[in-house]
């Protein structure tokens, strides 16, 4: 049996979607908002619920079971069943057997909200225009005779396309712009479903190569596959959104983890994922905070982990990168690094600063409680790794590297002289140079420097990090801290990026056993609670968005690395303790 046939998932946790599509089917219709019924949701122009899908058995609301696989979404009652499959990235095909379905649109139409339902005189297709998404939704009936309710109505009125519980009916629902050619289907429902299964299976086999077969790994592949969208709007490349729930953007450090996870399976796709925010790089060298279909935000930035990420991407790539690709990355990383050195250092200061927690990616971490504008040790550590990567690329491309060598020496000297206390690293206010709180894992993040760190500093950072470790991974705030919050975003919960960065740094610093423990614990929480945006550090429960791609990516990276280590160990060591 294929992965597509064996994997079933809860669509309240993971939206039902398709690689390349901006559409999904899900009961999640807004920020932490879950409806009783499945909805057609678009991420064109933002997240918008367009139709509520209500099964119709011809009488009282029936008891309905709903489940999804990568191929189909299915509603089942005693009376019959309804199935859905993606006809294409812009169209979903529905089929009913003994059970009807109501496509119910919002019932208010004002000059600025709602949907307008009508029959297009040119082709007779029932069409809904949506003010919210700025698109049209066209029904092409293949079998059956639906009832149109609320046609051409304005104001408060029920608007729906209704398929009663006929013996069999079939319809395709498309998202289009102002006009589109008539739909032409090339295969029946079952053949289309089989094609979707083949596509997902091919993707999953490549992404999971070398990883032991498991439902968790297959689900991680589906989270990545289904959150992928085609180029549209400001998204100029195929991209993996952070989620097809409400986190439907590409944030400018989240994308790095997805790129690393893709590198071995599809290096071209990994490079696209890595470079996407750089398509919107400013003349100052800054990359945006986030990119979405209809907006690019520049009010914040994200931490410069990109040199670190590119090194891992290249190490895992399935093919050598071309001189042109390396040149492109070098120039973009050069500008991004100069942004921090030229625009984010107070005159007379050697160390760069964050303007807000959002710049760090750790939005509300306790390190920012005393002051928001801080010189933080993680920032300098990331820049040092980025400078190392620039030095290597410059030499490989036969370009001068002295600019980067000099900057790296100055930053490293300042980091150790100004933010290392002898017991640990501290962050400090740019204005008064007073130390900020030290109970966040953020101030231990210079462990990412790995082998660059003096052995005694690495040892102390390792001990500090292990104080954060729970059975499910490293908490972002010391669990014993009075500031710890179980669902406090970056004030306690476990996150994929901090986990992966810490695990990699510890391993490169020679602290293999602690790195193994962190890898094991994080993979365990994903196997227990799926791919949530973050996790309760004490219970392991998933929090916030439940289908977050950087979490799935981190799981796949750690699982692939562990599988490779297991393969390379002597046979006598594979069943015993490390």
The torsion angle over the Cα atoms of residues 253, 255, 260 and 263, rounded to 10 degrees, is -150
Q: What angle do CA 466, 468, 473 make, to 5 degrees?
A: 90
- pLDDT for res 109: 72
The torsion angle over the Cα atoms of residues 326, 331, 336 and 338, rounded to 10 degrees, is 130
Name the residue among 123, 167, 152, 135 with its Cα closest to residue 51.
135
Helices (H), 227-370: 254-262, 267-275, 306-316, 323-343, 357-360
Q: How far apart are CA 361 and CA 20, in angstroms?
A: 27
Q: How far apart are CA 399 and CA 517, in angstroms?
A: 41
The distance from CA 335 to its chain's CA centroid, rounded to whole angstroms, is: 25
Residue 366 has pLDDT above 50, yes or no: yes
- pLDDT for res 571: 62
pLDDT, average across residues 301-308 = 98
Residue 575 has pLDDT above 60, yes or no: no
Sequence ranges of the domains in the chain: 3-197, 208-564
Residue 558 has pLDDT above 50, yes or no: yes
**pLDDT band with cut points at 50, 70 and 90 for residue 578:** very low
Q: What angle do CA 300, 534, 48 make, to 5 degrees?
A: 65
Q: How far apart are CA 13 and CA 283, in angstroms?
A: 40
Name the residue among 117, 104, 15, 116 with its Cα closest to residue 55.
104
**pLDDT band with cut points at 50, 70 and 90 for residue 577:** very low
Average model confidence (pLDDT) across the chain: 95
pLDDT, average across residues 152-159 = 86
Q: Which CATH code for domain 3-197?
A: 2.70.98
pLDDT, average across residues 224-250 = 98
Q: How far apart are CA 131 and CA 455, in angstroms?
A: 60
Q: How far apart are CA 281 and CA 83, in angstroms?
A: 43
Three-class DSSP labels, 167-184: CCEEEEEEEECCCCCCCC
Helices 496-508 and 455-468: angle between axes, nearest 10 degrees? 150
- pLDDT for res 3: 76
pLDDT, average across residues 228-252 = 98
Q: Which helix (H) or strand (E) holds 382?
A: helix 377-396
Residue 213 has pLDDT above 90, yes or no: yes
- pLDDT for res 325: 98
Q: How far apart are CA 367 and CA 361, in angstroms?
A: 12
Single pTM value for the model: 0.96
- pLDDT for res 154: 82
**pLDDT band with cut points at 50, 70 and 90 for residue 416:** very high
What is residue 419's DSSP assignment? I
Of 94-103, 108-117, 124-133, 544-553, which gets the smallest average pLDDT? Answer: 108-117
**pLDDT band with cut points at 50, 70 and 90 for residue 21:** very high
Q: Is 208-564 a CATH 1.10.3720.10 domain?
A: no
- pLDDT for res 576: 46
Q: How far apart are CA 562 and CA 159, in angstroms?
A: 53
- pLDDT for res 573: 58
What is residue 258's DSSP assignment? H
Q: pLDDT digit string (tens) for 482-520?
A: 999 999 999 999 999 999 999 999 999 999 999 999 999
**pLDDT band with cut points at 50, 70 and 90 for residue 296:** very high
Q: Which residues pair with 543 in a beta bridge?
A: 534
The distance from CA 477 to its chain's CA centroid, rounded to whole angstroms, is: 23
pLDDT, average across residues 163-180 = 94
- pLDDT for res 155: 80
Say how many C-beta atoms besides its own lie within 10 A of residue 269's C-beta: 19
């Amino acid at each position: 049996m294929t992965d597509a046939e064996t994997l079933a998932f809860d669509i309240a946790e993971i939206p039902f979607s398709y690689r390349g599509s901006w559409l999904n089917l899900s009961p999640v219709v807004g920020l932490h908002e879950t409806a009783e019924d499945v909805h057609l949701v678009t991420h064109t122009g933002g997240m918008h619920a367009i139709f509520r899908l209500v099964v119709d058995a011809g009488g009282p609301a029936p008891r309905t079971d709903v489940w999804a696989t990568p191929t189909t979404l299915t509603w089942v009652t005693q009376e019959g069943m309804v199935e859905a499959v993606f006809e294409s990235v812009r169209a979903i095909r529905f089929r009913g057997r003994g059970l009807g379905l109501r496509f119910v649109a919002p019932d208010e139409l004002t000059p600025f909200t709602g949907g307008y339902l009508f029959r297009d005189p040119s082709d007779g297709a029932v069409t809904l225009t949506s003010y919210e998404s700025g698109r049209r939704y066209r029904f092409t009936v293949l079998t059956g005779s639906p009832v149109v309710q609320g046609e051409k109505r304005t104001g408060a009125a029920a608007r729906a396309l209704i398929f009663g519980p006929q013996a069999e009916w079939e319809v395709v629902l498309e998202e289009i712009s102002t006009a589109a050619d008539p739909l032409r289907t090339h295969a029946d429902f079952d053949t289309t479903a089989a094609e979707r299964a083949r596509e997902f299976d091919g993707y999953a086999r490549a992404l999971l190569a070398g990883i032991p077969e498991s439902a968790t790994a297959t689900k991680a592949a589906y989270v990545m596959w289904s959150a992928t969208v085609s180029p549209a709007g400001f998204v100029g490349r195929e991209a993996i959104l952070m989620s097809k729930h409400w986190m439907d953007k590409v944030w400018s450090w989240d994308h790095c983890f997805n790129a690393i996870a893709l590198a071995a399976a599809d290096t071209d796709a990994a490079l696209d994922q890595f470079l996407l925010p750089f398509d919107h790089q400013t003349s100052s060298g800054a990359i945006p905070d986030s990119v979405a279909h209809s907006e690019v935000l520049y009010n914040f930035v994200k931490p410069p982990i990109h040199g670190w990420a590119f090194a891992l991407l290249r190490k895992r790539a399935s093919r050598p990168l071309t001189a042109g690709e390396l040149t492109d990355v070098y120039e973009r990383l050069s500008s991004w690094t100069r942004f921090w050195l030229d625009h984010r250092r107070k005159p007379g200061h050697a160390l760069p600063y964050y303007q807000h927690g959002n710049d760090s990616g750790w939005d509300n971490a306790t390190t920012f409680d005393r002051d928001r504008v801080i010189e933080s040790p993680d920032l300098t550590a990331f820049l040092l790794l980025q400078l190392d990567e620039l030095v290597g690329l410059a030499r490989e491309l036969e370009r001068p590297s002295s600019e980067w060598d000099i900057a790296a020496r100055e930053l490293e000297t300042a980091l150790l002289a100004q933010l290392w206390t002898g017991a640990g690293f501290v962050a400090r206010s740019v204005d008064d140079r007073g130390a900020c709180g030290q109970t966040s894992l953020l101030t231990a993040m210079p462990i990412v420097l790995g082998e660059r760190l003096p052995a005694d500093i690495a040892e102390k950072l390792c001990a500090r990090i292990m104080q954060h470790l729970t059975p499910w991974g490293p908490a972002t705030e010391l669990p014993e801290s009075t500031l710890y919050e179980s669902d406090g975003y970056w004030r306690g919960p476990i996150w994929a990026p901090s986990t992966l960065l810490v695990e990699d740094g510890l391993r490169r610093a020679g602290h293999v056993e602690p790195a193994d423990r962190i890898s094991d614990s994080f993979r365990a929480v994903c196997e227990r609670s799926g791919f949530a945006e973050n996790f309760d550090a004490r219970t392991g429960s998933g929090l916030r968005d439940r289908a977050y791609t950087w979490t799935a990516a981190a799981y796949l990276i750690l699982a692939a690395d562990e599988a490779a280590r297991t393969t390379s160990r002597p046979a006598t060591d594979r069943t015993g303790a490390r």
